[in-house]
C-alpha cells in the first residue's frame, strides 16, 4: 500500500489535476448513468403504463439501452474531436452535456400529464446522455495516460476507472437517503426527481477542476508537428493494422460490458422486482456491491502493472466463471446476510476487469488516433453489451428453479468473451505511449 501512495505523491501538481479531473468526470458519468438503474422499477409505469408489469419494465430498459447504444457514437464523435483539437476541449463539452441531460430528466412530465410525449422526451434525454457520456471516457483516459509516468500507469488506470463505481456508490447512498426519507408513494410521486436534480452538483465540481487542466505534452507535440489527421477516426477504419487492433480490443470490451450490465447494472431491478427486497434494503446491498467494485477496480489496475494487463483481466474473468452461478444462487436463496456475501463476491470478479482498460487501450493505439480509437473501442463493446440487461430481465422471469442458473450462465458468457479477448490481444504494459 505504501508503494501506491508513493506513486501518487510522485505526481506533479498538473499530473494530479489531470488525474483528479478525469476521475471526477468518470465518477459523474457513473453517477448519472446508474441513477436510472435505481428508479427503473419505480418509473416504468409512469412513462410506459401497461397492465403487464414486465412489459413496462422492458420498455423502460429499452429506453435505457438507447443510452448505451448512443455511447459508441458519442465515443467516435468526441474521440475524433479530441484527437483534432485536444482532449481538454472535448472533456469540457462532454461534462456539461450529460450533466444537463441528467438534471433535465428530473423535470420530465409523466404519461398521465402529457401522454405519449412523456416516453418520447425520456428517450430524447437518454439519447443526449449516451452521446455525451460516450465522449467522456476516451478523452479523460487518453489525457491521463499521456500525462502520468509509465510506472504509475497501471495503478492510475485502475484509479481512473474506479470513478464509475465510485459514482455508483454515491448514487447508491443518495438513493438510500432519498428512499429512506420518503414513503414509497412519495418516492414514486416526486422523490425520483430529486435523484436526477442532484446530478448537477458533481458536474459543477468536475467542470471547475477541468478549467485548471492542461493539454498533454504528447498531443501538443504531435499537433505542432502537424501529424494529426483531419479525420483521425478514418485511420482507425481504413488502416488494416489499426482496424485489426480495434476489433481485437473490441472483443475484450464486449465481454466486460456484457458482464457488467448483466450483473451489477441489473442488480437493482433483480433485487426489487424479482427478489422482492424492499427499496431500502436493496439500496444497502447495492452500496456493498459498488464499494466492492470500486476497490476491486483499483486493485486490478495495480495488479496489471505487476503481471500485465491481459493476465490481470484474465484472472478475474476465470474467477467470475467459477463464482457466477453460486453467487446468483445465493442472491436468490440466502438470508439477507447471505445476500451480502453473494453480491460482494460476484461484484468483485465480474465488474473489476475494467481497471486495466484505460492503460491497455491507451497503449494499444498511437497518439494521433488514441482518443478516437480508444473511445470507439471502449464504447463499442456496448453494441452487444447493451442487450445484456434485457436478456437478464427475460431470464429473471423464469421459475425460481432455473432463473439463478440462467443468470449465472449469462454472466459466464461475458467472462468467456473476456478470456478469448485476453488471448487474442498482446501484452502492452511495456509500450512507450510517448512515441
DSSP string, 356-419: GHHHHHHHHS-HHHHHHHHHHHHHHTHHHHTTHHHHHHHHHTS-TTTHHHHHHHHHHHHHHHHH
Q: What is the structure's pLDDT at 9?
A: 65
pLDDT tens string 392-404: 878 877 777 788 9
pTM: 0.84
Q: What is the structure's pLDDT at 274?
A: 87
DSSP string, 140-205: HHHHHHHHS-GGGHHHHHHHHHTHHHHHHHHHHHHHHHHHHHS-HHHIIIIIHHHHHHTTHHHHHH
Q: What is the dihedral of CA 85, 91, 97, 102, to 10 degrees?
A: 160
Q: Is 246 helix (H, G, I), strand (E, B) or coil?
A: helix
Residues 155 and 160: their CA atoms lie apart, in Å, by 9
Q: What is the structure's pLDDT at 1?
A: 46
What residue ranges of the chain have pLDDT lower than 50? Answer: 1-3
Residues 84 and 227: their CA atoms lie apart, in Å, by 10
Amino acid at each position: 500500500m505504501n508503494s501506491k501512495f508513493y506513486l501518487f505523491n510522485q505526481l506533479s501538481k498538473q499530473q494530479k489535476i489531470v488525474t483528479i479531473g478525469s476521475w471526477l468526470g468518470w465518477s459523474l458519468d457513473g453517477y448519472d448513468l446508474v441513477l436510472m438503474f435505481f428508479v427503473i422499477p419505480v418509473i416504468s409505469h409512469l412513462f410506459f403504463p401497461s397492465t403487464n408489469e414486465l412489459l413496462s419494465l422492458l420498455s423502460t430498459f429499452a429506453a435505457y439501452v438507447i443510452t448505451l447504444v448512443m455511447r459508441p457514437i458519442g465515443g467516435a464523435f468526441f474521440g475524433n474531436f479530441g484527437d483534432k483539437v485536444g482532449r481538454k476541449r472535448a472533456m469540457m463539452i462532454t461534462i456539461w452535456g450529460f450533466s444537463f441531460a441528467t438534471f433535465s430528466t428530473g423535470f420530465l412530465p409523466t404519461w398521465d400529464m402529457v401522454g405519449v410525449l412523456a416516453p418520447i422526451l425520456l428517450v430524447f434525454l437518454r439519447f443526449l446522455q449516451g452521446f455525451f457520456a460516450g465522449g467522456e471516457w476516451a478523452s479523460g483516459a487518453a489525457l491521463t495516460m499521456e500525462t502520468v509516468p509509465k510506472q504509475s500507469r497501471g495503478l492510475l488506470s485502475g484509479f481512473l476507472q474506479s470513478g464509475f463505481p465510485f459514482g455508483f456508490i454515491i448514487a447508491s447512498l443518495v438513493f438510500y437517503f432519498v428512499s429512506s426519507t420518503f414513503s414509497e408513494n412519495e418516492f414514486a410521486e416526486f422523490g425520483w426527481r430529486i435523484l436526477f436534480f442532484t446530478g448537477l452538483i458533481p458536474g459543477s465540481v468536475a467542470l471547475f477542476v477541468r478549467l485548471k487542466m492542461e493539454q498533454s505534452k504528447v498531443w501538443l507535440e504531435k499537433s505542432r508537428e502537424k501529424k494529426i489527421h483531419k479525420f483521425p477516426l478514418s485511420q482507425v477504419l481504413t488502416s488494416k493494422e489499426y482496424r485489426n487492433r480495434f476489433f481485437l480490443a473490441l472483443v475484450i470490451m464486449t465481454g466486460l460490458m456484457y458482464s457488467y450490465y448483466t450483473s451489477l447494472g441489473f442488480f437493482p431491478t433483480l433485487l426489487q422486482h424479482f427478489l422482492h427486497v424492499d427499496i431500502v434494503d436493496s439500496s444497502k446491498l447495492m452500496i456493498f456491491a459498488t464499494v466492492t467494485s470500486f476497490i476491486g477496480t483499483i486493485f486490478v489496475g495495480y495488479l496489471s502493472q505487476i503481471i500485465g494487463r491481459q493476465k490481470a483481466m484474465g484472472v478475474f474473468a476465470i474467477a467470475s466463471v467459477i463464482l457466477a452461478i453460486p453467487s446468483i444462487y445465493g442472491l436468490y436463496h440466502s438470508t439477507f446476510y447471505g445476500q451480502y456475501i453473494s453480491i460482494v463476491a460476484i461484484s468483485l470478479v465480474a465488474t473489476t476487469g475494467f481497471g486495466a482498460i484505460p492503460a491497455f487501450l491507451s497503449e494499444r493505439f498511437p497518439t494521433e488516433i488514441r482518443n478516437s480509437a480508444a473511445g470507439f473501442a471502449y464504447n463499442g463493446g456496448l453494441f452487444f453489451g447493451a442487450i445484456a440487461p434485457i436478456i437478464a430481465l427475460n431470464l429473471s422471469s423464469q421459475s425460481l428453479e432455473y432463473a439463478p442458473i440462467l443468470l449465472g450462465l449469462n454472466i459466464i458468457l461475458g467472462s468467456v468473451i473476456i478470456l478469448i479477448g485476453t488471448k487474442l490481444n498482446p501484452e502492452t504494459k511495456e509500450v512507450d505511449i510517448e512515441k
